Amino acid sequence: MSRRSLIRSAAVTTTALVVGGGMTPARAATAPRTAASTGSEFPADWMGALPDALSLLRMTIPGTHDSGCTDPANGTEWSHTQNWGITEQLQRGVRFLDIRANGLQDHLDDSFGIYHAGYYQGITFDGVLAQCRDFLLQHPHETIVMRLKKENGTNNDVGARFKDVLNVYLDTKGWRPWFLLADQVPSLGEARGRIVLIAQFDNDWPVLQWPGGDNDFLSNQWFSLQDIYQGLSWPSQKTAKVTQQFDNAAGDQNSALMYINFTSYAGGGWPKTNADAIMPGVQSYLNGRLSDRTHLGVVPLDFPDFHSDTLRTLIDWNWH
C-alpha cells in the first residue's frame, strides 16, 4: 500500500472513532511528495505535493464565493452561488471558503446559521465545521482558508456578541484546535490540517482581518482585495476587474499582501448567468499566461462545477 493510501486509511479510521468538535487535528510534519506533474490530477490532496516552507502568500488558491449558498429555495436564484456543497468543494480542490454567518434562530447565544443577506441557507456553522474537520482528518496535508463574515440584514442578528458566540465554538464546543489564529499569513507547513481564519466581524483579536469597505479594490496590512460585485454596465467589465487584479498580483510577487480576487458578480443578472458571461474571459486570460511563473493569490468562484477548467487551471498554477 502506498504512503498516500496509508494516510487516507488511517484518517478514515480516525473519523469513524470520533464525534464532535473537541478532537485534536491530525498533524503531519512532512507532506507526501508525488511525482504528479500537476495538482489537479489529485484535487483532494493537491497541497500535499507542495513544500512545507511555501508561504500561502506565494500560492494560487481557488475558492468559492458565498460557499454555503447551494439552493435557490433559500432565497432566490439571486442567492444561489454554488451547486457543490462544502464537502464536494473541498474534495474538488477548493481551499478558500467564504462563510457568512449570524445568529441561529432559538440559539442566538451559542450557534450560527449560514446566510446570504437575510436568507438562511439551511446549514449551520456547526455543519460547516464538521465538514471541514472530516475533510482535514482524511487529508491532513491540506489547509482551508476561511473568511468568516458577520452577515448583516438577518432576522437573528447577534450584534456585537458575534465574537462571543464564536468563542463558544472555539472553547465550549471544542473547535479551537482546528483553527489557526495568527496575525500573519502562515506557511503551508504551519497551516496543514487546520482552518486559517480571516475575521470580518468586530474583534480585537490578533488574527488576519478582512479589509474594511465594500464593492471596490481594497487593502489593509494583510490583503489586497478585488470584490466589485455590482455597479458595472456589462459582465465583461467585471472580467476586466478580475484580470486587472491578476496583473496587480503578477507585478507584486514579493509582496507581504495576500491577493484576493473575486470572479463573482451580482449586478444585472443571476450569479449563474453572470458567471457564464465572465468566466470565458478569465479562462482566456489564464490560458494566455500559462508559461508565467507567478502566483495569483486567492480566487473565489461562483459555480466551479460549470467552470471546472478554471478550477483545474488555478490548482495547476502552483506547478508553474
Domain ranges of the chain: 3-25+38-319
**CATH 3.20.20.190 applies to domain 3-25+38-319:** yes
- Check if the beta carbon of residue 297 is closer than 8 Å to that of residue 261: yes
**Is it the case that residue 84 has pLDDT exceeding 50?**
yes
pLDDT in tens, 20-56: 576 778 665 544 545 445 789 999 999 999 999 999 9
Mean pLDDT over residues 299-304, rounded?
98
- pLDDT computed for residue 162 by the predictor: 98
Question: CA end-to-end span of the chain, whole Å?
Answer: 30
**pLDDT at residue 20, as a whole number:** 59
In the chain, where do the E strands start and end? 60-64, 96-104, 107-116, 119-124, 144-150, 179-180, 195-200, 208-209, 217-219, 223-226, 258-261, 297-301
**108 falls in which pLDDT band (50, 70, 90)?**
very high
Kindly report the average pLDDT of the chain as a whole number.
91
The pTM of the full predicted model, rounded to 2 decimals, is 0.92
pLDDT digit string (tens) for 172-229? 999 999 999 999 999 999 999 999 999 999 999 999 999 999 999 999 999 999 999 9
> Residue 267: which residues within 8 A CB-CB, separation 6 or more?
229, 230, 231, 232, 238, 274
Output the pLDDT for position 268. 87
Pinpoint the alpha helices (H) of the chain: 3-17, 86-91, 125-138, 162-167, 188-191, 235-250, 271-287, 308-316
pLDDT at position 87, please?
Answer: 98
Question: Can you give the pLDDT at residue 24?
Answer: 76
